[in-house]
Amino acid sequence: MAIMPLTTLVLAHFFVAGERLSPVRLAGFVLGFIGIVALVGPDALLELEVGGTALLSELSVLGGAVCYAVNTIVARHRPDGDPLVAGTGVMILASAIMLPLAFAGGPPAIAAIPATAALAVAVLGIVSTALATVVYFKLVTAAGPTFVSLINYLIPLWAVVVGMVVLGETPEWRALGALALILSGIALSEAGRRATAESS
């Protein structure tokens, strides 16, 4: 998903007014991407396979990131209106698409689902998806697609923080260095965005 902000940056340059690609903004995005690579570790990148079903899986993930970028651009061009209405429409459409797939292998054994798993799914659906979609549309309108895309650089960092607080994990120095790179990249990109907006 770290490729999504870079894809959004390029698409926004061509399809969103006031989102021009400047050297400073590009440097910020690249710096954030380097931070993600440092956080994941070069060893993990070298383990990527280049053939068979593994390659298809990796290309699917890459395609998903590009689709997220396109979605952000489309969301910026949606008609003005209540983000709650837009978010609700997205959730209804997504549910209509997924419901037949959920029953493709037969009716799901809902009664056999543990209560903790059901609660986790409910939280993911209501908070992490439905509520987040409404906030997403609000942010895209207020701050622009490229700024919103930078959220993908923060997700791994939140994973590190939650791991420390909830699971008692001790981050490596590499993770702290990656944190500095990512935050610096976001700050640099935002400074470039403001400079571009002021000059236009």
pLDDT in tens, 161-185: 888 888 888 777 777 788 788 788 8
pLDDT recorded at residue 198: 67
In the numeric block, the tokens 């439905």 are attached to 130
pLDDT in tens, 10-65: 888 888 877 787 888 888 888 888 887 787 776 666 666 665 566 677 678 778 88
pLDDT recorded at residue 104: 78
pLDDT recorded at residue 11: 85
Q: Fill in the amino acid letter for 158.
A: W
pLDDT recorded at residue 126: 92
pLDDT in tens, 92-119: 998 998 888 877 776 666 667 888 988 9
Distance from the first to the final alpha carbon of the chain: 30
Decide: 49 and 129 in contact? Cβ < 8 Å. no
Alpha-carbon distances of 186 from 25, 51, 153, rounded to whole Å: 9, 34, 8
pLDDT recorded at residue 111: 67
Cα 4 from Cα 53, distance rounded (Å): 23
pLDDT recorded at residue 123: 93
DSSP state for residue 107 in the 8-state scheme:
-
Decide: 190 and 146 in contact? Cβ < 8 Å. no
pLDDT recorded at residue 13: 82
Sign of the C-alpha dihedral computed for residues 32, 38, 44 and 48 taken in this order: positive
Q: Which domain does 39 fall in, by range?
A: 3-199
Give the count of domains, the chain.
Answer: 1
pLDDT in tens, 77-86: 887 788 899 8
In the numeric block, the tokens 């059901």 are attached to 118
pTM here? 0.70
- The DSSP secondary structure of 40-87, one letter per residue, reads H-HHHHHT---SHHHHHHHHHHHHHHHHHHHHHHHHHTSPS--HHHHH
Residues 6 or more apart whose CB falls under 8 angstroms from that of 169 comprise 160, 163
Cα 121 from Cα 39, distance rounded (Å): 28
